[in-house]
Structure 1
Amino acid sequence: MSKMVTPPAVTRMQAVLQKEMVREFLAEFLSTFVMMVFGLGSVAHMVLGDKMGSYLGVNLGFGFGVTMGVHVAGSISGRMSWKKFPVYVLGQFLGSFLAAATIYCLFYTAIIDYSGGKLTVTGPTATANIFATYLPDHMTLWRGFLDEVLVTGMLQLCLLAITDKENNPALQGTQALVIGILVVIIGVSMGMNSGYAINPSRDLPPRFFTFIAGWGTQVFSTKDWWWVPVVAPTLGAYLGAIIYLIFIGSSIQREPQILETPSTCEDRTTPVLPKTVSHPPATSSLTPVSVSPDNRPSVLSQP
């Protein structure tokens, strides 16, 4: 039997897909698409479905949508260098844009029926809010800006706590679930004022889609809000990270470093420990550990 020959075009495609940056782009694209399809779909149920949806349902949709997104790409995309930043932004933008287009197609007849065939941004039959966030009447622009900064700061602060291996991180394998629960908590406790975009890719790409799909320029002009979900979450994330590093990160005791003599540099199978360091007792991963002044780890008593 003759061997099957792979066409050159398929070979080139496989080579391209194996490149690290391409894989990270595709992972970011797909994970954002998954998150946004579940999130926007839950909003569509609340707006269009009468008793089929609820505000709690929206929070659960976005929260566990984030969980599924982390599972899709958690081991591929993550911390990145600055040169990869545009690739991640593009992947998230396209994934979110496609998710908005998908929800539009899925719920098109319901949107037309609910709005009477007129795509509006404000008023009793507004449907643009299915895709992007809009300020309620009781909020001003700058109060909404501060709200987004605070909410995103809380998100970033808690994300660092969840993933900080030197502190008290979530158990291995549960990080995605805990992050999803965090998003749900933020939504049910602080979401009503500004819609808690907490990520530029959650708001701007779907808003741009609604502009193209027929809602018009009002999606950008209403209360001049469109730029806030882009700028405020970025500022809030930085502030949340700085606060965590100052209040928590700087106070965490690091484990003593292993010292090596010149003779052990050649043979790393026999490391030499300083005489002042003793091996810590076996403890649960949930048990806080401190380092006493004599460099000996000690288990803190639980209240």
Structure 2
Amino acid sequence: MSSEQKSQNKAPSGSVDSGITLINPHRKISGSDQANVKHIENATRRTSSGQTLRNEDAELFPEEGNGAGLQNAPTQETEHSHKSQEELQHESHISNLRQSVGLPDELPIAEQHEETERFNWPTFRLIFREPFAEFFGTFVMVLFGNGSVAQVLLSGRQASAPGGDGYGSYQSINWGWGVGIFFGIYIAGDSGGFLNPAVTLGFCLFRGLPWRRFPIYFLAQFLGGFVASGVVYANYINAIDQFEGHGIRTVAPSPTATASIFCTYPQPFLSKTSQFFSEFIASAILMFVVFALKDDSNPGAMGKTGAGALFPLGLFLLIFGLGISFGWDTGYAINLARDFSPRLMSYILGYGPGVWSAGGYYFWIPLVAPFCGCVFGGFLYDAFIYTGPESPLNKKWWGFKELYENSRRHQESKRLEKRRYDA
């Protein structure tokens, strides 16, 4: 054996010559050397492909922490390499705008659609996508609901209809509202609004829906019901003229009143207490069942994992059931967007101040009772059934202590900001 070979065999495998680790090719590779070889191969392969080292290399050397501080550099092969700096800044701006109105900062766009060119309107749509969904969901719900009422009422004198007593019955109205909520929820999705400001309030109180979303959801739902009632009126204007007389628009108790197409009016024998209780109890049932359908931990829920994709069907059955059980007294408004918005539209369309004074100024009952009922129904469900951490009823002192501490921190932050401003 030559002296050169002897010197090579004497050199330890971990020795360094000019910064290069030497490994004896005639010696069996140990476990640690295998890790060295794999690490070098990984580094060589990624360097040649233009990628930087990733943290996964640290798994080969846990004792040394190699690669623990490495981050993916914005090279051509990294996640956002296909986006320019201007596009990334644009997305950041959109996220900030969404946060400012209480919406989640994640852009609501499918990954396969990210390459689509973005102009002004699509950008605006990305910012307000959830409110748009609430608007059109409420629009479809009221369109089906008010449309079914209009058809049943205005066709009642049509002897040519099947059966000779019009195109529909009271059950047709319940079907109309049920189908409307079914498709409306499919349009709006799982935004937390659910086409009803009172339900939105319940999710803000008991499920952690950010309070900043409440105003924009409320506005979207209100406008959806308002526009839908106008569309129903435009569709049935000739039938209304035939039913009441051209240009005549009346409110109950007129025998030819058509104002009930758009909003609810109570039976004349009901007291104010009965009017309020009818709307209150129906709204409480609505919120209680909605929470049950959305509760993944409820063992009585469908499939024992919540309603899931069957949630719209569950709401359809719920609204249909409320109609056949609590609909006669007050018309089961249970929703400001379905009652007050169309009521305002009917006033604008010429039904006059009677839309406010009818039933002893009943109009405020569907404004207030659904909110009270939904809060009560949500409280009952969380107090006796729900175990999730979102509900304040499952926190210490029912969340009042946390609310007080958050208020104090907010006030302290405002004082510090004022001091910095004065300084």
TM-score with structure 1 length normalisation?
A: 0.76
Shift of the alpha carbon at 1:16?
1.5
Identical amino acids, percent of aligned pairs: 37
Match of 1:229 among 344, 356, 366: 366
1:119 and 2:249 are equivalent in the alignment: yes
Match of 2:125 among 13, 17, 22: 17
Aligned-pair Cα RMSD in Å: 1.7
Partner SS state of residue 133, structure 1 = coil
Q: Distance in 2 between matches of 1:120 and 1:98?
A: 21
Question: Match for residue 183 of structure 1?
Answer: 319
Shift of the alpha carbon at 1:142?
2.1
Q: Distance in 2 between matches of 1:204 and 1:127?
A: 16
Question: Match for residue 171 of structure 2?
Answer: 56
Runs of 4+ aligned residues of structure 1 deviating over 3 Å after TM superposition are 75-80
Match of 2:329 among 172, 178, 193: 193
1:72 and 2:187 are equivalent in the alignment: yes
Q: Distance in 2 between matches of 1:141 and 1:110?
A: 33
**Higher relative contact order, chain-length normalized (CA < 8 Å, sep 6+):** 1
Shift of the alpha carbon at 1:64?
1.4
Shift of the alpha carbon at 1:84?
1.3
Shift of the alpha carbon at 1:186?
0.6
1:148 and 2:148 are equivalent in the alignment: no
Match of 2:376 among 213, 218, 239: 239
Larger Rg: 2
Question: Match for residue 95 of structure 2?
Answer: none
Question: Match for residue 108 of structure 1?
Answer: 237
Q: Distance in 2 between matches of 1:46 and 1:238?
A: 33
Q: Distance in 2 between matches of 1:12 and 1:102?
A: 28
Shift of the alpha carbon at 1:13?
1.9
Q: Which amino acid aligns with 1:176?
A: P
Partner SS state of residue 86, structure 1 = helix
State the Cα deviation string for residues 211-249 of structure 1 (Å, max 9, x = none). Answer: 100001110111211111010000000000111112222
Question: Match for residue 136 of structure 1?
Answer: 267
Q: Distance in 2 between matches of 1:143 and 1:189?
A: 15
Shift of the alpha carbon at 1:120?
0.2
Shift of the alpha carbon at 1:140?
1.7
Unaligned runs of 5+ residues in structure 1 are 1-9, 252-303
Question: Match for residue 41 of structure 1?
Answer: 147
Q: Which amino acid aligns with 2:167?
A: M
Aligned residues: 241
Q: Distance in 2 between matches of 1:75 and 1:191?
A: 27
State the Cα deviation string for residues 236-292 of structure 1 (Å, max 9, x = none). Answer: 0000011111222259xxxxxxxxxxxxxxxxxxxxxxxxxxxxxxxxxxxxxxxxx
Match of 1:248 among 370, 375, 385: 385
Q: Is the 8 A contact 2:139 2:227 kept in 1?
A: yes
Q: Is the 8 A contact 1:64 1:181 kept in 2?
A: no
Q: Distance in 2 between matches of 1:14 and 1:176?
A: 28
Shift of the alpha carbon at 1:178?
1.1
Q: Is the 8 A contact 2:294 2:308 kept in 1?
A: no
Shift of the alpha carbon at 1:60?
0.7
Q: Is the 8 A contact 1:25 1:87 kept in 2?
A: yes
TM-score with structure 2 length normalisation?
A: 0.55
Partner SS state of residue 344, structure 2 = helix
